[in-house]
Each structure stands twice: as structure tokens, then as C-alpha cells.
């Protein structure tokens, strides 16, 4: 075979290679479009179950938003987060059942709001004993050795609220506190913080604490029945939210009304002051700490306190504009 013919054949071979390459590329590109939704799962996925007590409360939906906004970070680190909500808001029995199911499903991490109801706590202990990581959000359990707490420093929040109430009501006030279901330590801590703030002003007193006010009907029933005191403090978000839905201006039933988290009543004059928590920050911290745990095997700390803000009519516009 002459050199010229050999070179010619080599060129031909080169051309044929190019044609085959182009056909393969085209076919590959076509078939790549067919692999929609397929993902590699070489690394074992870390399963995380987040049990939220409320489905439509603006408070918990903001925590959920904080998690979902950072869900891609979790997915990048092979962390699968699933949300669970009881059919009835704040229903401890249903939440306990969900918790037990997660234990049976042997998930890796459970994120819950701390609750000292016996069955719930028992289930938490069972999970803890099985080696499931427990992260408490919003509400810590002082007597339970959870692995991580993310949320407000509730005693400090109560203290801040109390101090601001004193500033606004003066030296004397008879206070009714509307709380949620019994067994939530965060609410108790807030009340404790408030009482600490009132020690310097003996005439400012908490006269009564009313529980089980997690729905609007119950709250309004208690609101209307309460006649002896001049100041109302809604120690969790449901109270201020319900009042804002019922009234369009200040109601004379109480001289002063203060609350937590829901601020829409402030410009209407329905409530005078609200202490808000940074819920989205809580959700974000959950994801960040899960990633930290996934990559290092531990959390950055055993508790993360998020910020609170005292809002009145004076700073309402500035703070809400900044939030927007």
C-alpha cells in the first residue's frame, strides 16, 4: 500500500469518525432529554421530619417558609425534609401520633415544637433512645435533653414584653394573660419573664392566666367573660390575630392590649404593642444546622436564640417596611 493511499484512507477514517461522533452526540442529546427526573442516590439520604403544630397560622407558615427557602441547600447535602401538620391545630394527641409514626419510620432527625404533654414527651424520649436527633423549634423543653434548640429566648422575650408594658401602662395594672394549651414551657417562660419585669412595680400584677386559647372561638369567649382586669396580654400569637380579625378599632373591654407575633392590629389601635419573633430565621437556622450536622456529625451549638422586636404604633411603619 503506497503512502499516499494510506494517508487518503486515514483521512477517510477521520471523516467517518467525525460523522459517527456527531450522530452519537445528537442521539445522546436526544436521550438526555428522556432522563427527566432521574437523580443519583449514591449517598444515603438523611431523612428529616418537621412536625409543625399549625397549618395556616402566619407564625408557623413563616418558619416553614424559612425552611423551604433553604431547601436546595438541604438537598445539595442529601437531606430530605418532610413537613407534617396535625389535622387539628396544636392538637397534642395528633402530633404525638405523628411523632410515633416518625419513630416507627426510623427517620434520622425530628424537628418539633417542645411540648411537655406526657405522651408527647414519652414519644420524644423513645425517639431519643432510638438515636433519632431531636431539634426543638420555637419552644424548648428545659427538662428534656434535646440535641438542639432553635428559637426565641422566651424568658428574655417575656422580660422585654413586661418592661415595655410597664412603660406604656404606668405604675398600676391588673393583667389577664391569655395563654395556649398547658404544657408549653415557652409560654411559661414568657410569663416568668414578665413577672420578673414587674418586680420593680408591685402595682402591676398578673391577676389571671387563662389556658387553652388556641382557637378564635375559645379566645373570644374568654375575652368577653374576663371583666375584672384592665390589661390583656396575649402571650402567644392567636390572641392578637383573633382580635385583629374581630375589631377594626380599639375595643374598650380592656384599656391596654399587648400580644405576640401578629402586628396587623397595631395601626388599627386594636393592640398597643406586639413582640415579634424572627420565625423565618428559625427555619433558616434549622436547615443550616442540619447541614452542619450532616457534614460534621454535630451541631454548631446546643441552642440558637433568634431575635425579637418590640413594635408599637411609633415604629410600626419603619419595621414593617424594613420587613417587606
309: β partners: 276
Could you give the CA distance from residue 184 to residue 163 in angstroms, rounded to a whole number? Answer: 22
Between 12 and 72, name the residue whose CB sits nearer to another protein.
12
Smallest distance from another protein to CB 89, Å: 20
- Choose between 4 and 199: whose C-beta lies nearer to another protein: 4
Closest-CA residue to 235 (of 297, 167, 186): 186
Tell which phi-psi region holds residue 132, choosing left (phi > 0), alpha (psi between -120 and 50) or beta.
Answer: beta
Q: Which CB sits closer to another protein, 74 or 270?
A: 74
Minimum separation from the CB atom of position 285 to another protein (A)? 22
Which residues, including other chains, have CB under 8 Å from residue 233's CB and lie 6 or more apart?
A: 161, 165, 175, 176, 177, 178, 194, 206, 257, 258, 259
| Inter-residue contact 134 to 127 (CB < 8 Å) | yes
Residue closer to another protein by CB (options 83, 268) is 83
Which positions touch another protein (CB under 8 A)? 8, 11-12, 15, 23, 27, 30-31, 33-34, 36-39, 41, 45, 47, 80, 82, 100-101, 104-107
Q: Closest separation between CB of residue 299 and another protein, Å?
A: 23
Nearest approach in angstroms of CB 2 to another protein is 15
Which residues lie across from 304 on neighbouring strands?
150
Considering beta carbons, is residue 31 or 217 the nearer one to another protein?
A: 31
Question: CA–CA separation, 209 vs 145, rounded Å?
Answer: 28
In the complex with another protein, the residue whose CB is nearer, 40 or 145, is: 40
Q: 244 near 265, Cβ under 8 Å? A: yes
With cell 423543653, the residue in question is: 141
- In the complex, what is the shortest distance from the CB of residue 47 to another protein, in angstroms, rounded to a whole number? 6
The full DSSP string for 209-251 is EE----SHHHHHHHHHH--S-SEEEE-SHHHHHHHHHH-SS--
Given the complex with another protein, which of 1 and 145 has the nearer CB atom? 1
Smallest gap from residue 215 Cβ to another protein (A): 26
CB 251 within 8 Å of CB 226? no
Instruction: Give the whole-angstrom CA distance, residue 193 versus residue 196.
Output: 5
CA distances from 299 to 134, 147, 269, 319 (A): 12, 8, 43, 32
CA dihedral 280, 286, 289, 294 (to 10 degrees): -140
Q: Which is nearer to another protein, 130 or 298 (CB)?
A: 130
CB of 91 to another protein, least distance (A): 17
Least Å from the CB of residue 97 to another protein: 9
Amino acid at each position: 500500500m503506497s503512502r499516499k493511499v494510506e494517508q487518503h484512507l486515514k483521512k477517510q477514517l477521520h471523516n467517518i469518525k467525525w460523522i459517527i461522533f456527531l450522530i452519537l452526540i445528537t442521539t445522546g442529546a436526544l436521550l438526555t432529554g428522556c432522563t427527566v427526573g432521574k437523580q443519583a442516590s449514591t449517598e444515603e439520604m438523611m431523612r428529616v421530619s418537621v412536625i409543625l403544630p399549625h397549618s395556616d397560622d402566619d407564625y408557623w407558615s413563616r418558619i416553614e417558609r424559612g425552611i423551604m427557602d433553604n431547601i436546595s441547600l438541604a438537598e445539595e447535602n442529601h437531606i430530605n425534609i418532610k413537613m407534617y401538620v396535625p389535622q387539628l391545630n396544636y392538637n397534642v394527641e395528633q402530633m404525638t401520633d405523628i411523632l410515633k409514626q416518625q419513630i416507627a419510620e426510623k427517620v434520622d432527625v425530628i424537628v418539633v415544637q417542645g411540648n411537655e404533654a406526657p405522651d408527647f414527651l414519652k414519644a420524644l424520649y423513645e425517639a431519643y433512645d432510638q438515636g433519632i436527633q431531636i431539634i426543638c423549634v420555637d419552644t424548648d423543653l428545659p427538662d428534656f435533653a434535646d440535641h438542639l434548640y432553635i428559637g426565641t429566648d422566651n424568658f428574655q422575650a417575656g422580660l422585654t414584653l413586661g418592661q415595655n408594658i410597664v412603660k406604656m401602662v404606668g405604675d398600676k395594672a391588673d393583667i389577664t394573660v391569655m395563654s395556649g394549651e398547658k404544657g408549653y414551657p415557652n409560654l411559661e417562660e414568657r410569663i416568668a419573664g414578665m413577672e420578673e419585669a414587674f418586680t420593680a412595680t408591685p402595682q402591676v400584677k398578673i391577676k389571671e392566666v387563662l389556658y387553652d386559647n388556641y382557637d378564635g372561638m375559645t379566645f373570644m369567649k374568654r375575652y368577653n367573660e374576663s371583666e375584672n382586669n384592665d390589661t390583656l396580654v396575649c402571650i402567644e400569637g392567636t390572641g392578637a390575630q383573633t382580635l385583629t380579625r374581630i375589631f377594626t378599632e380599639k375595643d374598650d373591654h380592656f384599656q391596654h392590649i399587648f400580644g405576640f407575633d401578629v402586628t396587623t392590629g397595631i395601626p388599627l389601635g386594636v393592640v398597643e404593642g406586639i413582640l415579634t419573633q424572627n420565625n423565618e430565621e428559625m427555619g433558616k437556622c434549622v436547615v443550616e444546622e442540619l447541614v452542619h450536622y450532616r457534614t460534621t456529625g454535630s451541631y454548631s451549638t446546643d441552642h440558637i436564640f433568634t431575635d425579637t422586636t418590640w413594635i408599637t404604633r411609633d415604629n410600626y411603619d419603619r419595621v414593617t417596611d424594613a420587613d417587606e
